[in-house]
Amino acid sequence: MTQTNDGPIAVVELRCSHIVPGDNDRTVFEAEALAELAGSIDKEGLIQPITVRPIVQCENCGYRQPMIAGSREHASCPGCREACSAWQELYEIVAGERRFRAVSEVLGWTFISAIVREMSDDQADGVMLAENLKRADLNPIDEARAYAKRMERHGWDAGEVARHANVTARRVQNRLDLLRLVPEAQDLVAKGHLSLNFATVMAPLLPAFQRKALEYFATTERPLLREFQAIVGKLMVEQAQTSLFDLGNFQLAVVVAEHTDDEAQRKSRRFPTSDKLPLIRKVGGIGLSLETYIAELLESDDPEARTAAPIVGRLYEGMLASGLCFVPRQASPLDKYQ
């Protein structure tokens, strides 16, 4: 056993029956690809060991927890909701599940070489993410879900995810945008039947309009990106005309333009407002205008303005999700808050 900054590491021969898969980002293991990998391993040997971490698993409900620093004392099981003595010591795969499946399922090996590392959940998640992306084994939807899972599980932002995955924050955001696609479109992307270029173009559409866009592929033998962009552009106009904004049947019209607040406008308002808050100014597109306004509210000396900032932010979040505006590509006053 050797020591590194990440904790003790050892390369050992482990019994395959003592190894369990981790929470893998990859959802598809094609039999043909596994057979090909098994053939290579059978001929050349297992050149790179798999990476595992020691865990304990409740034999009653399957709950797992990592073993850190060689601890053999286990807390009560959240699944059983009581002190649980039915703990089984196992090894969970962090990297190399395809190799493990090829060796254990196809070749029928009893033992496999493994690097044993003690890791916390977030450390294991980071290693698994980097490993899967490095080997280009994830389809774009699995990759997007991998990013989203870590953001929800560990509270990482796009930048933190990008650092762990060794990719750009722009790539992370582009993949996350794919999760706005309807399920049938996501399935097409995952199976390689819908290219990322086409998928990215249609992602800002609402579900009903995405399904209209998909009709193009059913009626066209040779889809062209330029034609598809034109179709999506028309659908965006139709979408905007159908409903400017709808959150829980509460309609809000956001007007980003230079205007005056005269008495006629005051009388015609059908929504609450406050004269203490500044008017929103047009600064580039809608996204940049809203981000500039939110920054002004956050930096205001007026407590009411600062209180309104997250409310406007929530509205902006809804507009982004609905495809009614986009995150600005140029520098934003909110960048300093990242």
| pLDDT tens by residue, 151-185 | 877 778 888 888 888 888 888 988 999 999 999 99
Angle between helices 303-321 and 286-298 (to 10 degrees): 160
- CB atoms inside a 10 Å sphere around CB 150: 22
| pLDDT tens by residue, 77-110 | 666 656 566 778 899 999 888 899 999 999 999 9
| pLDDT tens by residue, 205-216 | 989 999 999 999
Share of the chain above pLDDT 90, in %: 25
**Taking 90 as the threshold, does the pLDDT of residue 188 lie above it?**
yes
- Least confident stretch, 206-210, 226-230, 291-295, 301-305: 301-305
Secondary structure, 3-state, the chain: CEEECCEEEEEEEEEHHHEECCCCCCCCCCHHHHHHHHHHHHHHCCCCCEEEEEEEEECCCCCEEECCCCCCCCCCECCCCECCCCEEEEEEEEECHHHHHHHHHHCCCCEEEEEEECCCHHHHHHHHHHHHHHCCCCCHHHHHHHHHHHHHHHCCCHHHHHHHHCCCHHHHHHHHHHHHCCHHHHHHHHCCCCCHHHHHHHCCCCHHHHHHHHHHHHCCCCCCHHHHHHHHHHHHHHHHHHCCCCECCECCCCCCCCCCCCHHHHHHCCCCCCCCCCCCCCCCCHHHHHHHHHHHHHCCCCHHHHHHHHHHHHHHHHHHHCCCCCCCCCCCHHHHHC
Q: What is the pTM of this model?
A: 0.53
Domain segments of the chain as ranges: 2-138, 195-242, 263-337
pLDDT recorded at residue 9: 61
pLDDT recorded at residue 277: 85
For residues 336 and 66, which has the higher predicted lDDT (pLDDT)? 66
Fold for the domain defined by 2-138:
3.90.1530
